[in-house]
Amino acid sequence: MESVKERFKKMNNLTVRTISGAVYVVLLLGALSASNAIFFVLLFSLFAILATIEFNLMTQVNRTHPFRTAADALATVWVFLMGYLIGAGQNRAVLWIPIVSYVIYILVRSLFTDEGRELKAISNSLFPLIYIGLPFALSALISVHTVNYFQRTLFVGEALLTVFICVWANDCFAYLVGSAFGKRKLIPRLSPHKSVEGFIGGMVASALIAMLFPALFPYYFGGFSLFSMAMYGLFIGLLASIGDLFESMLKRRFGVKDSGWVIPGHGGILDRIDSFLFAVMGAFVLFSIIAY
């Protein structure tokens, strides 16, 4: 029989998890609902820095070299800022100088890496640019637009907010449906607790909530049919599940339970945005097709 002490500990853990999760959601809602991009840039830059540091600690490639980890984090943030500046119409060649210099630095640095670890060191330093930096840059491109008529930059976070909503719906209902009806394992070698039933339930929930977007976010989705929005939600839900499984693969490869500890009860930032990193890339493709 469970002791009072064990029950109290579980209640405390649940309280901490609920509060930290609520703070995370409130910060995101504030960043994507504000009338200017300052909060968005600051929050997403912080997320990019923390996610890159967590990746470095998880892979341990720069464990004894904090300067290298800092350089990797700053490079990832710059890729995000490039996306913002390009979206704001500042598409200049000079923007590429820092990132090209960083790549040169990584390649030159490999000459002084222990023999046999050169390619691993290069890959682990450049990988966050693709895995974290690129999705963050696309997040900015989705949200920031140049309005030539008014000669100003317009920040609209609604499109990006819909990606998060679909991801949250997918995660929540995948867990609920999987817990209640899950029998067949999805990919047990990567995530033994995820089921086929939960995977389907998450995508259905994402599709259903996306069907509300024309009414909730008419600026972007006012003219779209319910079928189009259902397909949007299904696609985002599918990529969100793949993103979650991808990070599970990384964590199993490096033998860690969580990517970090900055969100009590949830793990690290990378644990919270793993689904989003894949989903936002799909959203960018869809929005680009719609725009052109």
> Per residue in 198-257, pLDDT tens?
999 999 999 999 999 999 988 788 888 999 999 999 999 999 999 999 999 999 988 888
Tokens of 37: 């991009």
What is the SS3 assignment for 201?
Answer: helix
Averaged pLDDT for residues 159-172: 95
Query: For position 62, what pLDDT does the model report?
Result: 67
Averaged pLDDT for residues 116-132: 87
Query: For position 149, what pLDDT does the model report?
Result: 45
Averaged pLDDT for residues 156-182: 93
For residues 233 and 242, what is the distance between their CA atoms, to the nearest angstrom?
14
Q: In whole angstroms, how large is the CA radius of gyration of the chain?
A: 20
- pLDDT for 115 beyond 90: no
Query: For position 11, what pLDDT does the model report?
Result: 44
Is there a contact between 52 and 112 (Cβ–Cβ < 8 Å)?
no
For residues 99 and 262, what is the distance between their CA atoms, to the nearest angstrom?
27
For residues 211 and 146, what is the distance between their CA atoms, to the nearest angstrom?
28
CB atoms within 10 A of CB 58: 21
Task: Name the more confident of 113 and 8.
Answer: 113
- pLDDT for 150 beyond 50: no
Averaged pLDDT for residues 164-189: 93
Tokens of 261: 């500890």
The 10s digit of each residue's pLDDT in 270-280 is 999 999 999 99
